[in-house]
Amino acid sequence: VSDLVEPADQTVREDTGEIRQETMIINMGPQHPSTHGVLRLLLELDGETVVACKPVIGYLHTGIEKNLEYRTWQQGVTYVTRADYLAPFSNELGYCLAVERLLGIEAPPRAQVLRVMFGELNRISSHLVWLATSALELGAISVMLYGFREREVILDIFEAATGLRMNHAYIRIGGVVMDLPEGGDTQVRRLLDVMPARISEYENILSENPIWVERNTGVGHLSAEDCLAFGVTGPILRAAGVPADLRKDEPYAGYETYDFDVVTRTEADSYARFAVRVDEMRQSLRIVEQCLERLEEPGPVMVEDAKVGWPARLSVGPDGIGNDPAYIHHIMEESMEALIHHFKMVTEGVHVPPGEVYQVVESPRGELGFYVVSNGDHRPYRVKIRDPSFSNLQATATMVEGGLVADAIAAIASIDPVMGGVDR
């Protein structure tokens, strides 16, 4: 890639032996519809062939990790959820599990079920965005419309339960912020009713579509060895035949008690990644189904310990989710002690015992890790977000070099990078 600066002219092509006259350097992005956000690519082209590719990142760096060091542990949730913005529940879960391990606590079972259910719904909605945008780039506009249509249904569920369509801050240290609202389970069940047929619909449109097959088969190949060498995880690694899924390998939030399969393929190309993601949506539906059964049993959704649990209660009002009037009445009118407690928890929060943990969760894009260090303060000493897209993008050059520019588009789409997570 270093010869990007000075294009190598008059060199002999290895494959054909002919003299290469000159190469051209093309700058793609950071504002380009096919780069999935603000990813910039420096491409060195020989005609239409990519000779060298250098991804340039950092355009969405917002200093989330630095900011976390100046906020309380509980406020941290609202920061991490904004990293990989298509998988907010994964971010929240990874962070909260890490802090809970430092605190030595565990969220109640019902909270864990809700975490799993929203995590899996989120996996589907994230894969739908991937499907929609990738299809759009390769010309399948109708699939784009379908993908966003179904995602909307899932976002409606999120909105009903958390008050927000993205950046929910729903999963909190010690549990979740509130239980499923009335009718929430019906909403989820309605999704379970329609989704299987919709997934088959995408497959009917795409999986044997000559253009889709042609544009994806053999494109962006990355072998299992290369995946491991570059730190690539998630659907890309599973599409290379490695059944690595942290939900199975290092279970958290009770994943070991759910019945689901790890989807793998062996072709290790863009098409295999498409197939893996589509089948993963089906597996996620299976898990959501099991979650609904478990949710029939009521229970607390936040740890009992008042020194850890978030004090505020939320409820659904006529204008959406907000403060619970009964709770406000309690702290403002009835109990001085409750008000003091509320004030202490909101402004100062919990003190976390010194130590360090590295907690992983399987986000829609692979291994999402949180390296969290505490020095005993009420704010994190250090939080490192190991975002899967960051490592996955390292393999871009290997995937696209030697191929055509048009194939680079399909290859990058198959990585499914989310720059909010990459740049943090």
Partner 1 sequence: VNPADLAERARARFDDVSVARGEVTVFAERGQLVDALAWLEAEPDLRFDFLSSVTATDWPGQEPRFWLSYELRSTEHHHRIRVKVGVPSTEPHAPSITPFLPAADWHEREVWDLYGIAFDGHPDLTRILLPDDWEGHPLRKDEELGGVDTRFHGAFMPPVDRRTTT
Q: Which residues are near partner 1 by CB under 8 A?
A: 1-2, 57-58, 61, 63, 65-67, 69-71, 101-102, 228-231, 242, 244, 249-250, 355-358, 360, 367, 369, 371, 373, 379, 381-382, 384, 386, 390-391, 393-394, 423-424
* Nearer to partner 1 among residue 95 and residue 170 (C-beta): 95
Give the nearer residue to partner 1 in terms of CB position, either 35 or 391. 391
DSSP string, 164-225: -SSS---EETTEESSPPPTTHHHHHHHHHHHHHHHHHHHHHHHTT-HHHHHHHTTTT---HH
Alpha carbons 127 and 413: distance in angstroms, whole number: 12
| Closest CB 95 distance from partner 1, rounded Å | 15
d(CA 266, CA 243) in angstroms, rounded, equals 10
Q: Which is nearer to partner 1, 228 or 316 (CB)?
A: 228
Q: How far is the CB of 107 from partner 1 (least distance, A)?
A: 16
Report in angstroms how near the CB of residue 411 gets to partner 1 at its nearest. 18
Task: Report d(CA 179, CA 314) in Å as an integer.
Answer: 9
Residue ranges of E strands in 58-189: 171-172, 175-176
Identity of the residue, 209 or 391, whose beta carbon is nearer to partner 1 in the bound complex: 391
Cβ closer to partner 1: 54 or 165?
54
Nearest distance from residue 133's CB to partner 1, in Å? Answer: 23
* 254-268: burial string, b at 16+ Cβ within 10 Å, e else: ebeebebebbbbebb
CB of 65 or CB of 407, closer to partner 1 = 65
Strands (E), 29-184: 40-46, 49-56, 171-172, 175-176
Burial of 393-413, coded b for 16+ CB within 10 Å and e otherwise, reads: bebbbbbbbebebebbbbbbb
Joined tokens for residue 365? 């894009």
Q: CB of residue 244 vs partner 1: minimum separation in angstroms?
A: 5
Q: Which is nearer to partner 1, 55 or 309 (CB)?
A: 55
List C-alpha distances in Å: 184 to 132, 154, 169, 312: 26, 11, 18, 21
Structure tokens at 255: 């994943």
Supply the minimum distance, in Å, between the C-beta of residue 36 and partner 1: 17
Least distance from C-beta 394 to partner 1, angstroms?
A: 5
For residues 154-183, b (16+ Cβ closer than 10 Å) or e, as one string?
bbebbebbbbbbebbbbbbbbbbbbbbbee
* Residues making up the chain, counted from first to last: 424
Shortest Cβ 357–partner 1 spacing (Å):
6
Return the SS3 of 410.
helix
In this complex, which beta carbon is closest to partner 1, that of residue 224 or of residue 339? 224
